[in-house]
Structure formats: structure tokens, C-alpha cells
Amino acid sequence: MLDISPEVNDLLKKCSWPGNIRELRNIAEKAVIYSTKTINTQIVSDLITVPIKVSQDDTEKYDSDEIIPLKEYKNKMEIKYLQKVLTLTNGSVTKAAEMLGIDRTYLYQKLNQHKIKYT
């Protein structure tokens, strides 16, 4: 039986799990495989491929005095998010679509619409 250090729970809570519980399950399974007696933050942090949440929300990065049309703002945020998910999946559109919970062909349409390059 393995022990889990209390810090592991805090570390996992700081991670962004973009709609994909499978990623969390994979991390847990690998941590069990690589651990001998205790699952600690060193082991888990080496396995984490999803970004850790930062306190500043992406929406706060825009100057609060700058007012742009809502459609333009939504497009900018959608582009940033799609790029982020593609980075997480190493450019795999299939995996990105799974993480986003959308059809792959719809994701291709969005990527082409925003002129986002993918592999």
C-alpha cells in the first residue's frame, strides 16, 4: 500500500485539467507505478503535462481601460485557448478535440478560421 504526501493533493489542485479527467487518471496511475512507498510532489510534478493555474486570469492580461468589441475579445481568447490546448497535446488535433469535448472536424474549422497552424 502506498502513502500519498499531503502536498500532492495541493499540487494537483493547482493544475488546470481542461475538461479531461483522463489526464488526471493517467498521472495517478503513473505515480503509483513510479513510487516505491510514498507518492510525493517530486514524482507527480515530473509527470504533470498540464499547466499549473496562475493567480492572474488570462482575461486580466488585457488592459482594463481598453474596451474592444465583444466579438474581437472572444476571438482573441479563443485563439489563445486553442493554442494552449494544441501545445498541451504537442500539436495533436485529435487529442485536442478530445480534451475540448468537440468533434475533430469542428476543431479543424476553428483552427482554419483563426489561421492557427497545427501538425
pTM, to two decimals: 0.48
Segment holding 83, helix H or strand E: helix 70-88
Domain segments of the chain as ranges: 3-47, 58-113
Q: Could you read off the pLDDT of 17-66 as tens digits, one per residue?
A: 766 778 788 888 888 887 778 887 777 777 776 555 544 454 555 555 67
Residue 89: which of 41, 32, 18, 25 has the closest Cα? 18
Q: Could you read off the pLDDT of 71-92 as tens digits, one per residue?
A: 888 888 889 889 888 888 888 8
Higher pLDDT, 115 or 50: 115
Rounded distance between C-alpha atoms, residue 41 and residue 51, angstroms: 15
Query: Taking 90 as the threshold, does the pLDDT of residue 111 lie above it?
Result: yes
Pick the CATH number of 58-113 from 3.50.50.60, 2.60.40.10, 2.30.30.230, 1.10.10.60: 1.10.10.60
Rg (CA), the chain: 17
Give the pLDDT of residue 8.
81
Query: Which ranges constitute the DSSP H helices of the chain?
Result: 6-13, 21-34, 41-47, 70-88, 93-100, 104-113
Q: Whole-number mean pLDDT of the chain?
A: 78
Higher pLDDT, 8 or 16: 8
Give the pLDDT of residue 61.
55
Q: Which residue is associated with the grid cell 496562475?
A: 54
